[in-house]
Amino acid sequence: MKVEQLYTGCLAEMAYYIESNGEAAIIDPLRETDPYIRMAEADNAQIKYIFLTHFHADFVSGQYDLAQKTGAKIIFGPSATAEYDIYVGTDGELFPLGDINLKLLHTPGHTMESSSIVLIDKDGNTPYLFSGDALLIGDGGRPDLAVKSGSITEADLAGFLFDSLRNKIMTLPDDIIVYPNHGAGSACGKNMSSETFDTLGNQKKTNYALRADMTKEEFIKEVTTGLKAPPQYFPNNVRMNKSINTSIDEVIHRGTTPIDAATFKEMSDQKDILVVDTRSKETYTEEGTVPGAWYIGLDGSFAPWVGSLITNIDQKIIFIAEDETRVNEIAIRFSRVGYDNTLGYLFGGIKNWIDHGYEVDKIGSISGHEFVERLAAGTMEKPLDLRKESEYLSEHVVGVENFPLDFINSNFAEIDTEKEYFLHCATGYRSLVAASIFKANGVENVTDVRNGFVDIKETNAPLTEYVCPTTLL
């Protein structure tokens, strides 16, 4: 028997590969199919089942394409419906796999069809629980994503989650290893640990969602308090996960089309095509970019930012890569959040663009030290902090307003394109993304603060520290 956790940092997502005696199961696969097929081939195994713990909101999963290629059965929990063929399992149903069994537990709460899977080995032991987003390490899955106006409220879902955790999961042996679907950085929970697994016994001691003396009312209050609006792409990804989409092979084939500089220029001038620059912060700022391009660097949380910032999921996109070796990966990473209209990349990179004599746009930058000096001297028109509200509230520079990157589209009307802006975040990624979007939207004078709050904190800048109001203590 083999159990492998496949962690994808960009999405803080964990898929699983399970193999026993020539048969394999995949739990919560990402959009691409090749890695799972290769793993099964290496084990000489046939992929028999593809389990989806729920209809994911934060990525498009690849069950349909994977089933088409392997003949595997797609299994969801009770009440799931989809445009393609699925098998809807029942609570407690056993799925034989080689010498072992996989037992489906219906654990609604995060969503109504949410289910977990217990691995039962050939001796009848239960060493692993694949908990989806019902139980996360340090948290329970957020209960607000599957609200249906008029029938199911956030509090109803939180109540179901309380019952699922107490009646289905906490009754399992304390030494069972909990393998969740998401880790820290994902928007599917609010308080996740950076660990990717733990024993149930340890979670009972450390995870607020499993506290033994908690009433249902207390639980509902705790899991629903402090939830921020989910990223705008979440409902689109849920819809795509219930539908048959363009095949991943076709999406990658089109997305990896090389585009010569002259054609790239023509396309970048078209209103309905967005240029995304995916290079490192350093090369992007040093070499400059195609005018109007958005910066979303591959080295940050690329896919979630694509999903959060590009409001039209059908947006036609052409992109700039650091080098040719990353082109395939970039097309896959766009498609993981459903951006299937990538039309290709700038062949020869920015060097080729410059060699053709085309205009290059650069974002100016200053150090954290200079930012603080100019702020103190009063020579800075509009300094903004691009971090999340929670980060801003915990500590920020006096006199700097919060303008979270997460809500840049909905709040952009507040920006005066005639003014001069200075943008900082925590480390310089989000501020650079924002600066590129400011520029693309007509703000000529925008400056990025390199290394953001990390550098600012090394100065003597006056900081406001969050003081917990006594009413919350």
Inter-residue contact 341 to 316 (CB < 8 Å) = yes
- Name the residue nearer to Fe ion (CB basis): 132 or 344: 132
Q: Which structure tokens are listed for 425?
A: 């975040």
CA 76 vs. chain centroid, Å, equals 22
Least Å distance between CB 110 and Fe ion? 6
Interacting span for Fe ion (CB under 5 A) from 31-39, 94-102, 184-192, 334-342: 184-192
C-alpha separations of 158 from 120, 210, 223 in Å: 28, 13, 7
Q: Which stretch binds Fe ion (CB under 5 A): 180-188, 304-312, 360-368, 383-391?
A: 180-188
The candidate with the shortest Cα–Cα distance to 409, out of 337, 308, 297, is 308
- Could you tell me if 10 and 301 are in contact, meaning their C-beta atoms sit under 8 angstroms apart? yes
Q: Given the DSSP bridges, would you call strands 273-277 and 294-295 parallel, antiparallel or unpaired?
A: parallel
Q: Is the four-CA dihedral 433, 438, 444, 448 of positive or negative sign?
A: negative
Q: How far is the CB of 211 from Fe ion (least distance, A)?
A: 22
Asked if 113 is part of the footprint of Fe ion (rule: CB under 5 A), the reply reads no
Round to whole Å and give the CA distance between 14 and 27.
9
- Which runs of E-coded beta strand occur in 85-154? 87-88, 94-97, 100-106, 115-120, 128-132, 135-136, 139-140
Q: Mask of contacts with Fe ion, 122-161, x by CB under 5 A?
A: -----------x----------------------------
Output the smallest distance, CB 275 to Fe ion, in A: 31
Quote the least distance from Cβ 156 to Fe ion, whole Å.
Answer: 17
Sign of CA dihedral 96, 99, 104, 110: negative
- Nearer to Fe ion by Cβ, of 113 and 133: the residue is 133
Provide the token pair at 322.
């650091």
- Min dist. Cβ of residue 54 to Fe ion (A): 6
- CA distances from residue 2 to 32, 93, 121, 164 in whole angstroms, order as listed: 21, 21, 11, 28
Closer to Fe ion at the Cβ: 25 or 188?
188
Query: Which is closer to Fe ion, CB of 188 or CB of 303?
Result: 188
SS3 404: coil
**Least Cβ distance, residue 111 to Fe ion (angstroms):** 7
How many residues are listed for the chain in this entry? 473
Instruction: Give bridge partners of residue 107 from the DSSP assignment.
Output: none
Q: How far is the CB of 414 from Fe ion (least distance, A)?
A: 31
Nearer to Fe ion, 139 or 448 (CB): 139
Least Å distance, CB 353 to Fe ion, is: 40
Task: Name the residue nearer to Fe ion (CB basis): 210 or 238.
Answer: 238
Stretch near Fe ion under the rule CB under 5 A, chosen from 185-193, 196-204, 393-401, 449-457: 185-193
Using the contact rule CB under 5 A, the part of the chain among 39-47, 169-177, 186-194, 261-269 near Fe ion is: 186-194
Q: How far is Cα 466 from Cα 473, in angstroms, rounded to an integer?
A: 13
Q: Please identify, using beta-carbon distances, which residue of 114 and 342 lies nearer to Fe ion.
A: 114
Span of 33-41, 188-196, 205-213, 443-451 interacting with Fe ion by CB under 5 A: 188-196
Structure tokens at 328: 């395939």
Q: CB-wise, 115 or 459, nearer to Fe ion?
A: 115
Question: Is the dihedral angle over the CA atoms 413, 414, 418, 423 positive or is it negative?
Answer: negative
Residue 24 host element (H or E): strand 23-27
Contacts (CB under 5 A) with Fe ion, residues 63-102? none
Q: Which is nearer to Fe ion, 137 or 188 (CB)?
A: 188
Size of the site for Fe ion (CB under 5 A): 2
Least distance from C-beta 247 to Fe ion, angstroms?
A: 24
Member of 39, 52, 161, 188 binding Fe ion (CB under 5 A): 188
Residues making contact with Fe ion (CB under 5 A): 133, 188
